[in-house]
C-alpha cells in the first residue's frame, strides 16, 4: 500500500485557455510513477471572472465548464469533457482525485435586489450600526445560461448573510443583510478574528437557511455522480460554521464513500484554535499545517541562524499528527499572493525531506515546486513583478524515496542547531534510510544502525554526495551532508 502523498496540481498562475485539464491527463501516469497517490485539483466550476477565474470566486457550482456563462463555456482549466477526462486519467493511473470546494461565498450575481442592511465595523464585525439602510445589492443568482439544468435553485437575499457592496446609496464596506435568518447576527462557530470572521468576500452564504443547506448537500451528491471523487479540500473553513462542515462531510461520507479524504483550509497557526475546531467537526477532517509552513518560511529566511532543533515546534504535525496535511508552499503563499510567505528555494529540499520522509503527517507537494513556474503580476506596491519559481530538482527523488525508503520506526537526531537528521529503521521486508541535513555548513551525524546493518554500504539517493558510507562491525557510521543541503542515505544493495 503506497503511502498517501498529495500533489497540488495547480498554482495561482497556472496557464489558462483550457490547458490544465489536458495537462492533468498527460501527466497523471508520470506522477503515479514517482509515487503520488492523490491529486488536489483546483475548483472545477464556473467562477465570476469566467475563463480568468482561478476558481475561488464561486458563481455556479453546477457549471463544470458546460454552459455559456461569464463569457465562455469552459473555465480557465477547460470544459466539462476535459475535466471528466482528467479525472478519469488520474483514476486509471491509480491516483485519487481530491476536489476543491468553495462554499463560503458566491460572486457575480445575475441581478440586483432591494435589501435592508446594517453597516458593520470591518475591524470588529460584532459591531453594527443600529440603523438599517435600504439599498440594492447583488444577491440574486438565476444562472440564465444553465436554464435550470441539474438544479432549479435560485439564490437570493435570503441565502446570504452579508455583502461588501451596495448601491443607492453606493458604498463599499461590510454589510449584514437583514433577512429571516440569524436575527441580525453572523453565523457562529467561525473564527473569532475581527470579532467574527463569518464574512470574507462576495455574497456570504447563509448556512442557517435550510434550503441553502439542503442545496449544498444535493450539490455534493450530484458532483460525485459526475466525476470520480476521492475527497475534498474545503476552502475558507474558518469563515464557515463548524457545524455545517460536520454535517456536510458526514453526509458526503454516508452517500459517496466512508473513505473520503477531506482536508479543510483553516488557515491559522495556533494549535488551540485548530484543536478546538477539530473537536467541533468531530475530528472528521484533516487540516493544513500552517504553523509548520511558517517555520519553514522563517528558517528559509534566517539561513544558518535558525535553530533546526525547533523546526517542528508549535506545529500541527507534532501535536495532532493524524490530522496534519503538511506542506511547503501553496497557491496562496507563492510570491505576489494573499498569504505570501514563500519558502526560499535553497531550503525547500530540506523542508520536503522533513514532510515526505518522516512517519507523521500527510504531505502535499506544490505544483510550482515540482515543475517550476514563471509569471508576472502587480504587487502590493502597485508595480509589475516578474517571478520565477525554480523546480526543485531533487523533489521527484524525494517523493520516490518516501515510497521506497521511508519505512519502519523513526529515530531522531535533533541535537545540533544546524545539522539534524533522523533514521527510518526499515521493516523486515522494506529498507529504511538515514536523512541528514544542514542549514549551515557541511556536517555529519554519527548513527548506530545496529549489528544487523554492520559492514553495509550506503549511498546518497539524492546524489548530493558522490562518496559512499560504510558502517563498521557494530553498524555505526558517520553520515555526512553538504552545507545548506540534505542527503538521504540508503543501502546500496536496496537499489
Closer residue to Ca ion (CB): 37 or 104: 104
Binding of residue 198 to Ca ion (CB under 5 A): yes
Closest approach, Cβ 102 to Ca ion, in A, equals 11
**Rounded to an integer, what distance in angstroms lies between the CA atom of residue 463 and that of residue 362?**
25
Ranges within 287-326 binding Ca ion (CB under 5 A)? none
Closest approach, Cβ 197 to Ca ion, in A, equals 8
Of positions 100, 164, 204, 289, contacts Ca ion by CB under 5 A: 204
Closer residue to Ca ion (CB): 201 or 391: 201
Closest approach, Cβ 126 to Ca ion, in A, equals 14
Q: What does the angle CA 258 – CA 260 – CA 265 come to, to the nearest 5 degrees?
A: 135
State the distance between the two ends of the chain, measured CA to CA, in whole angstroms: 19
Which residue among 66, 198, 206, 265 is the active-site one? 265
Closer residue to Ca ion (CB): 239 or 424: 239
For this structure, is 428 an active site residue? no
Closer residue to Ca ion (CB): 249 or 398: 249
Closest approach, Cβ 324 to Ca ion, in A, equals 25
> Judged by CB under 5 A, which stretch of 53-61, 133-141, 191-199, 322-330 contacts Ca ion?
191-199
Cβ–Cβ under 8 Å, residues 238 and 266: yes
Binding of residue 209 to Ca ion (CB under 5 A): no
For this structure, is 129 an active site residue? no
**303 phi and psi angles, rounded to 5 deg:** 60, -140
SS3 call for 362: strand
Element (H, E) at 459: strand 457-460
Which residue among 235, 247, 369, 460 is the active-site one? 235
**Rounded to an integer, what distance in angstroms lies between the CA atom of residue 198 and that of residue 190?**
6
**Rounded to an integer, what distance in angstroms lies between the CA atom of residue 96 and that of residue 41?**
10
> Judged by CB under 5 A, which stretch of 99-107, 174-182, 365-373, 394-402 contacts Ca ion?
99-107
**Rounded to an integer, what distance in angstroms lies between the CA atom of residue 264 and that of residue 248?**
12
Binding of residue 14 to Ca ion (CB under 5 A): no
**Rounded to an integer, what distance in angstroms lies between the CA atom of residue 288 and that of residue 272?**
14
Number of residues binding to Ca ion, judged by CB under 5 A: 4
> Judged by CB under 5 A, which stretch of 199-207, 209-217, 271-279, 314-322 contacts Ca ion?
199-207
Ranges within 224-243 binding Ca ion (CB under 5 A)? 239
Binding of residue 369 to Ca ion (CB under 5 A): no
Closest approach, Cβ 205 to Ca ion, in A, equals 6
Closest approach, Cβ 236 to Ca ion, in A, equals 7
Query: 8, exposed or middle or buried, with CB in 10 Å at 0-12, 13-18, 19+?
Result: buried
Annotate each residue in 135-174 with x if it binds Ca ion (CB under 5 A) or - if it does not, as one string: ----------------------------------------
Closer residue to Ca ion (CB): 206 or 460: 206
> Judged by CB under 5 A, which stretch of 195-203, 358-366, 397-405, 406-414 contacts Ca ion?
195-203
Closer residue to Ca ion (CB): 192 or 412: 192
Cβ–Cβ under 8 Å, residues 283 and 320: no
What totals of helices (H) and strands (E) does the chain contain, helices first? Answer: 10, 27
The DSSP bridge pattern shows strands 6-8 and 362-366 to be parallel
Residues 6 or more apart from 152 whose CB is under 8 A from it? Answer: none
Closer residue to Ca ion (CB): 60 or 204: 204
The DSSP bridge pattern shows strands 457-460 and 485-491 to be antiparallel
Cβ–Cβ under 8 Å, residues 328 and 334: no
**Rounded to an integer, what distance in angstroms lies between the CA atom of residue 174 and that of residue 197?**
11
SS3 call for 223: helix
Closer residue to Ca ion (CB): 146 or 239: 239
Distance of CA 247 to the CA centre of its chain: 21
CA torsion through residues 131, 134, 137, 140, sign:
positive
Binding of residue 104 to Ca ion (CB under 5 A): yes
Closest approach, Cβ 262 to Ca ion, in A, equals 19
Closest approach, Cβ 267 to Ca ion, in A, equals 14
> Judged by CB under 5 A, which stretch of 11-19, 78-86, 198-206, 251-259 contacts Ca ion?
198-206
* Footprint of Ca ion (CB under 5 A): 104, 198, 204, 239
Q: Which residues are catalytic?
A: 235, 265
Amino acid at each position: 500500500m503506497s503511502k498517501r502523498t498529495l500533489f497540488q496540481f495547480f498554482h495561482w498562475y497556472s496557464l489558462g485557455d483550457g490547458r490544465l485539464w489536458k495537462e492533468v491527463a498527460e501527466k497523471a501516469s508520470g506522477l503515479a510513477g514517482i509515487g503520488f497517490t492523490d491529486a488536489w485539483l483546483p475548483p472545477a466550476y464556473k467562477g465570476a471572472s469566467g475563463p480568468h477565474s482561478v476558481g475561488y470566486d464561486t458563481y455556479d457550482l453546477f457549471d463544470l465548464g458546460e454552459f455559456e456563462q461569464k463569457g465562455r463555456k469552459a473555465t480557465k482549466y477547460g470544459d466539462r469533457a476535459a475535466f471528466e477526462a482528467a479525472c478519469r486519467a488520474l483514476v486509471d493511473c491509480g491516483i485519487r482525485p481530491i476536489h476543491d470546494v468553495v462554499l463560503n461565498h458566491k460572486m457575480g450575481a445575475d441581478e440586483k435586489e432591494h435589501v435592508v442592511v446594517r453597516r458593520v465595523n470591518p475591524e470588529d464585525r460584532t459591531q453594527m450600526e443600529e440603523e438599517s439602510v435600504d439599498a440594492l445589492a447583488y444577491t440574486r443568482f438565476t444562472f440564465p445560461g444553465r436554464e435550470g439544468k441539474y438544479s432549479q435553485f435560485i439564490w437570493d437575499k435570503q441565502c446570504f448573510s452579508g455583502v461588501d457592496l451596495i448601491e443607492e446609496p453606493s458604498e463599499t464596506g461590510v454589510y449584514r443583510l437583514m433577512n429571516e435568518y440569524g436575527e441580525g447576527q453572523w453565523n457562529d462557530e467561525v473564527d473569532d478574528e475581527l470579532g467574527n470572521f463569518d464574512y470574507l468576500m462576495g455574497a456570504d452564504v447563509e448556512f442557517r437557511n435550510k434550503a441553502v443547506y439542503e442545496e449544498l448537500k444535493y450539490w455534493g451528491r450530484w458532483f460525485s455522480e459526475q466525476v470520480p471523487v476521492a475527497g475534498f479540500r474545503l476552502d475558507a473553513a474558518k469563515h464557515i460554521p463548524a457545524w455545517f462542515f460536520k454535517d456536510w462531510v458526514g453526509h458526503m461520507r454516508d452517500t459517496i464513500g466512508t473513505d473520503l479524504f477531506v482536508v479543510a483550509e483553516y488557515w491559522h497557526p495556533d494549535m488551540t484554535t485548530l484543536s478546538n475546531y477539530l473537536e467541533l467537526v468531530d475530528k472528521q477532517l484533516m487540516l493544513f499545517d500552517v504553523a509548520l509552513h511558517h517555520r519553514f518560511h522563517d528558517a528559509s529566511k534566517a539561513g544558518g541562524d535558525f535553530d533546526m532543533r525547533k523546526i517542528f515546534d508549535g506545529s500541527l504535525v507534532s501535536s495532532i499528527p493524524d490530522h496534519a496535511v503538511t506542506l511547503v508552499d501553496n497557491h496562496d503563499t507563492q510570491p505576489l499572493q494573499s498569504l505570501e510567505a514563500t519558502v526560499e528555494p535553497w531550503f525547500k529540499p530540506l523542508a520536503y525531506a522533513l514532510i515526505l520522509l518522516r512517519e507523521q503527517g500527510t504531505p502535499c507537494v506544490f505544483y510550482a515546486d515540482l515543475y517550476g513556474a514563471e509569471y508576472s503580476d502587480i504587487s502590493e506596491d502597485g508595480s509589475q513583478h516578474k517571478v520565477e519559481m525554480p523546480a526543485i530538482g531533487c523533489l521527484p527523488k524525494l517523493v520516490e524515496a518516501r515510497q521506497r525508503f521511508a519505512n519502519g520506526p523513526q529515530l531522531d537526531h535533533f541535537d545540533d542547531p544546524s545539522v539534524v537528521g533522523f533514521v527510518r529503521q526499515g521493516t523486515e521486508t522494506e529498507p529504511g534510510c538515514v536523512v541528514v541535513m544542514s542549514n549551515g555548513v557541511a556536517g555529519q551525524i554519527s548513527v548506530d544502525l545496529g549489528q544487523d546493518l554492520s559492514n553495509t554500504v550506503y549511498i546518497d539517493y539524492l546524489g548530493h554526495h558522490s562518496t559512499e558510507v560504510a558502517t563498521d562491525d557494530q553498524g555505526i557510521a558517520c553520515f555526512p551532508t553538504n552545507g545548506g543541503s540534505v542527503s538521504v542515505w540508503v543501502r546500496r544493495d536496496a537499489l
